[in-house]
């Protein structure tokens, strides 16, 4: 399934860790928006890692939004994402 992952994190150090992690596990659409295609087990692992990384942040916002195939077909987007779509492997 496809997932949209977004964040809003004030602290530079924590945000940098989240970005580095997401760059390894998803592709970047915008600066704080990523997307990945993975299993429910894999997205749970990503979610748990993000929660762990942000546990000391001041009021962080994390969102993981599942996008079904029918909804994916209806996505409207102008412009190009920062990265190309690719499969994700979580170990």
Residue range 50-63, pLDDT digits in tens: 999 999 999 999 99
Fold classification of 2-73 is Alpha-Beta Plaits (3.30.70)
Model confidence at 73, in pLDDT bands (50, 70, 90)? confident
Would you say 37 and 88 are in contact if contact means Cβ atoms under 8 Å apart?
Answer: yes
Burial of residue 77 (number of CB atoms within 10 Å: 0-12, 13-18, 19+): exposed
Non-local (6+) Cβ contacts of 72 within 8 A are 2
Specify the pTM.
Answer: 0.83
Q: Which helix (H) or strand (E) holds 36?
A: strand 33-37
Mean pLDDT of the chain: 90
């Amino acid at each position: 399934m496809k997932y949209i992952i977004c964040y809003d994190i004030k602290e530079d150090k924590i945000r940098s860790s989240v970005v580095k992690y997401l760059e390894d596990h998803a592709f970047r659409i915008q600066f704080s928006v990523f997307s990945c295609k993975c299993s429910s087990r894999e997205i749970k692992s990503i979610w748990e890692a993000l929660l762990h990384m942000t546990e000391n942040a001041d009021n962080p916002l994390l969102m993981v939004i599942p996008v079904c195939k029918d909804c994916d077909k209806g996505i409207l987007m102008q412009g190009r994402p920062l990265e190309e779509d690719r499969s994700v492997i979580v170990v």
